Amino acid sequence: MKINPRHDLVLLLFMATAIFATFAEAAETSIKPESVPEKVEIGKNIELLFEVTLPAGTSLDAEKLVLKAESPGGDPFFSTPYPHKVISSQAGSATVEWVAPLPEDLEPGDFPLLITLAAKDTAGTDLKASWTGNITVDFGDEWSANKISHFIEKNGLFLYLLLLFGFGMVMSLSPCIYPMIPVTLAVVGTQSKEKGILHGLGLSLTYVVGMALVFALIGYLSATAFSGIIAFMQSPWVMVPFALLMLALSFSMFGVYELQAPQFLRDKLGGSGGGESRTGLIGIFLMGMASGLVASPCVGPVLGGLLLMLATTGDGLLAFISLFTFGMGMGVLLIGVGTFPALWGAMPNAGGWMETINKAMGLLLVGMALYFVRPAIVIPEQYYYPLVGAVLVLVATFMGTFDAQPEGASWWDRTRKALGILVLVSGLIVFVGSNMQFGFLGQSLRSIQPETIISAPSKTIASTPSKNTETPNVPLPEKVQWEKIHTGENVQAFLDAKRAEAKAAGKPVMIDFWATWCVYCKKLDKAVWNQPPVVEESLRFVTIKIDATKADDEEMTAIKTAFKVPGLPRVIFIDSRGEVLHGQTVGFTPPEEMLEIMKSIR
């Protein structure tokens, strides 16, 4: 066979041109994220939006797109990714969303991520590209079981407990401890004077250990058996009496009466006439426990936060030790008072700086009392804010706002009067303003105004295509539409059926665990589940509301254990693959944060 050199040369040039064109096309295909988040929270999703650049004049065949993700040099640090989505596609470019969840037990760190794209254009030409970057994962701002465990493993149990002890010491300077000082003096102080400092120290420690034990038991119960204790401490049945107690104590700070333990208590516990005390260590220990019960609602917001943090661990022993340490820190001031009662007794009772401190403490007590009965908990806002204004006017009176200044009054006397005037003006503004908005005065003013017709905005889903619903122009419900089930109604079988139904439909599930005694569960209904953006986002979920009021129901206990629900309220999310996403919310979650969480669920 005779070889034609010219033909061979043409064939070689053709092959070289084809190979070069193939590489050129491949080189024109690239993939890179629009942005890489600075940090991805453990237990949440990695969400990357990739811009795919295609060869000129070509378009992506979305059905032939495959994204492969791996972590070079090790096992994947992410769970199975969700199906990718082609957000947009046009000639020369496309936008693809890639989402993968991070496991809850993942350790913080920087992890390499390799994304490989294999696809075809509409003409059937192969397209390949890849991107490599680093993803930083860490714990979120909120405490969680894994975050606590990691902190203890990294820094040691001693430092963890030391921080809790110091936090308790800070709380010992709050007005919560002040009401217990006279009782401590009555129970321990007299004996300390008679038998010496060491004896007083021992009695004081016994007293404070009893108080700390109450906190420890509350912590243990919150992490194990009685998940409703947090909500119970925030219930009106606890908060209203304690608010009244704080208000009554504040008047003692303003000099209306002198606060001290009752005479019979001083006679019995402190000994009368200098005789031997009739109270042993057991009696003092029990008095300390009683004091812990008194102080618990007072530090309710702080204690509630600690309980929620520790409840996520489900570790009763850790919760017990943590709250005991916190209680001992709170008792430092009481230990000092019981050991050195002379120091407290030597302080001036009236006049000068002590009088100013007393009034400042009184203001704090008033503020705490008002905080305990705030609109979200007890009193509706139309009654709450006028009450706040009236109380401020009353406080200004006791601060000496209307008292005449003596000749030669000091700068501090003048400053104190000015502060009283400021409180008075603030109280009047709040009282008058709230009455104009909510009260009879406001209704009267509105009644004399000319009638105007105001068209309320219609709560409807926009007519533009929405990712949450396939039916445009459908009126948006007033609140999230729940399928409600109650304890004792074969809840497990219902949940299993709904989960299977949602998985088959490719829809996520949102489950709201609530109870009749749970204050913040009701707050979710009033402040979150009725917000239009939240309601609209909920339309793509299967929404279930479970009444877990009966704590002794075996089936409900098993369900709460399976879903890791140590306390209420708790909202559980299940993604479209049927996997339970633990730790998305803890306690009450504001509407803006809840909306962001809901949007992140695939």
**Least confident piece of the model among 113-122, 269-278, 498-507:** 269-278
Assign residue 408 a region (left: φ > 0; alpha: ψ between -120 and 50; beta: otherwise). left
How many residues comprise the chain? 602
Rg (CA), the chain: 33
Give the contacts of 483 (CB within 8 A, at least 6 positions apart).
498, 542, 543, 544, 545
Is 48's pLDDT higher than 90? yes
Q: Pull the structure tokens for residue 200.
A: 């007083």
Contact 246, 298 (CB under 8 A): yes
Residue 220 has pLDDT above 90, yes or no: no
Least confident of 54-63, 162-171, 466-475, 560-569: 466-475
What is d(CA 511, CA 402) in angstroms, rounded to the nearest whole number? 57
Confidence of residue 480 (pLDDT cuts 50, 70, 90): very high
**């004077």: which residue's tokens?**
193
**Least reliable range by pLDDT among 159-163, 338-342, 457-461, 590-594:** 457-461
For residue 232, what pLDDT is reported?
A: 57
Spatial separation of the C-alpha atoms in residues 144 and 216, rounded to whole Å: 19
Cβ neighbours around 408 below 10 Å, total: 6
| Neighbouring C-beta atoms of residue 41, cutoff 10 Å | 18
Q: Does the pLDDT at position 12 exceed 90?
A: no
- DSSP lists the bridge partners of residue 97 as 49, 85
pLDDT class of 175 with cuts at 50, 70, 90: low
Strand partners, 353: none
Please give the span between the terminal C-alpha atoms of the chain, in angstroms, as a whole number: 66
* Whole-number Å distance between alpha carbons of 129 and 118: 7
pLDDT at residue 416, as a whole number: 76
User: What does the pLDDT read at residue 406?
Assistant: 76
Whether 365 contacts 247, CB under 8 Å: yes
What pLDDT score does 529 carry? 95
What pLDDT does residue 464 have? 39
In angstroms, how far is CA 377 from the centroid of its own chain?
16
Residue with tokens 């005037």: 421
pLDDT score recorded for residue 531: 93
Domain boundaries, the chain: 10-138, 146-344, 483-600
- Using DSSP's 3-state secondary structure scheme, residue 68 falls into strand
E strand or H helix at 550: none
Phi, psi angles (nearest 5°) of residue 292: -65, -40
pLDDT class for 469, splitting at 50, 70, 90?
very low
* Band of residue 50 on the pLDDT scale cut at 50, 70, 90: very high
* 26: confidence class by pLDDT, cuts 50, 70, 90: very low
Question: With bands split at pLDDT 50, 70 and 90, how would you rate the model's confidence at 182?
Answer: low
pLDDT of residue 339: 75
Amino acid (one-letter) located at 156: G
Residue reference for tokens 């006049």: 351
Mean pLDDT of 214-237: 67
**Which burial class, exposed, middle or buried, applies to 265 when counting CB atoms under 10 A from its CB (0-12, 13-18, 19+)?**
middle
Q: Could you tell me the pLDDT band of residue 194, with boundaries at 50, 70 and 90?
A: low
> Quick check: helix, strand or coil at residue 78?
coil
* Per-residue exposure over 131-148, b if at least 16 CB sit within 10 Å of its own CB, e if not: beeebebbbeebbbbbbb
> What span, in angstroms and rounded, lies between the C-alpha atoms of 319 and 338?
28
560 and 227 in contact (C-beta within 8 Å)?
A: yes
* Residue 179 vs residue 166, higher pLDDT: 166
Predicted local confidence at residue 539, as pLDDT:
95
Choose the weakest-confidence range: 6-20, 25-39, 187-201, 577-591.
6-20
Greater pLDDT, 9 or 164: 164
Q: What are 498-556's pLDDT values in tens digits?
A: 999 999 999 999 999 988 777 778 889 988 999 999 999 999 999 999 988 776 678 88
Which CATH architecture best describes the domain 10-138? Sandwich (2.60)
Region 453-462 average pLDDT = 36
Kindly report the average pLDDT of the chain as a whole number: 76
Longest CA–CA span in the chain (Å) reads: 135
Query: What is the pLDDT at residue 467?
Result: 46
Q: How sure is the predictor about 462, in pLDDT bands with cuts at 50, 70 and 90? A: very low
228 or 247, which is more confident = 247
Quickly name the fold that domain 483-600 has.
Glutaredoxin (3.40.30)
Higher per-residue confidence, 91 vs 449? 91
- CA of 167: how far to CAs of 216, 295, 322, 333, in Å? 15, 15, 11, 13
User: Residue for token digits 């929620």?
Assistant: 308
